Amino acid sequence: MKSVLMFTKLAIMLSVTMLVFTQCCDDEVPPPPSCEIECQNGGTVDTTVCYCECPEGYEGDSCEVEIPPSIVKITGIRIIEFPETNSGDPWDPTLEGNDRRPDLQVDVYLFGDDEALGTTLTRDNALAGVTYSLTINTSDNCIFLSDAFATFRVILYDFDGPLAHQRRQMTSGEYIPYQEGGGFPETVTVNGPNFVAELDVEYLR
């Protein structure tokens, strides 16, 4: 009976020792560094705190959420392609030589509105195949679009004077500043019939 008791005591002591030993060793082994986080949309991992640093316009644990802009700003307009002729005729048929070429001007409208949100200075006697950067005609050289989800029209004119009949629409294209999942491109292309324009854009939130 005594030996059984001794054996039991020994067994308990051994168990306690093993437990202490096991706990001791678990404590002594440092956990492996584990920052398994992956950041989307150009976010970068800060491994010291295992956190995604998100670029402007994105939020969420892995930068997976786009923040829609409240205002989009057009800061540049380039005409890449335009209709070289007016259905086969020169744009300015009463003039001579290079003056017959079109005199490019762009207006930007909220789709359906008659009043332009902004316009550009004119580029006289444009030559097809050349890219023209038009100067936006405001003191800060930009056009504000206050509804990023709306459709805007970019209309190209041949400008021969300030009166209505001295300005003819050459072509146009449509532009929606923000569409979910589309990101925030700094340059967007607007297409229309015989029309390719590039817009430089900034996003405000």
Residues forming contacts to Ca ion in the complex (CB under 5 A) are 92, 99, 103, 125
Q: How far is the CB of 66 from Ca ion (least distance, A)?
A: 44
Q: How far is the CB of 199 from Ca ion (least distance, A)?
A: 24
Q: Which is nearer to Ca ion, 99 or 113 (CB)?
A: 99
Q: Which is nearer to Ca ion, 122 or 172 (CB)?
A: 122
Please give the sequence-ordered ranges of beta strands (E in DSSP) within 31-176, or none if there are none. Answer: 44-46, 51-53, 58-59, 65-66, 71-81, 104-110, 118-119, 132-134, 143-145, 152-159, 167-175
Please give the sequence-ordered ranges of beta strands (E in DSSP) within the chain, or none if there are none. Answer: 44-46, 51-53, 58-59, 65-66, 71-81, 104-110, 118-119, 132-134, 143-145, 152-159, 167-175, 187-192, 195-204
Q: Which is nearer to Ca ion, 47 or 98 (CB)?
A: 98
Q: How far is the CB of 88 from Ca ion (least distance, A)?
A: 17
Q: How far is the CB of 130 from Ca ion (least distance, A)?
A: 14
Q: Which is nearer to Ca ion, 58 or 157 (CB)?
A: 157
Closest residue to bound Ca ion by CB: 92
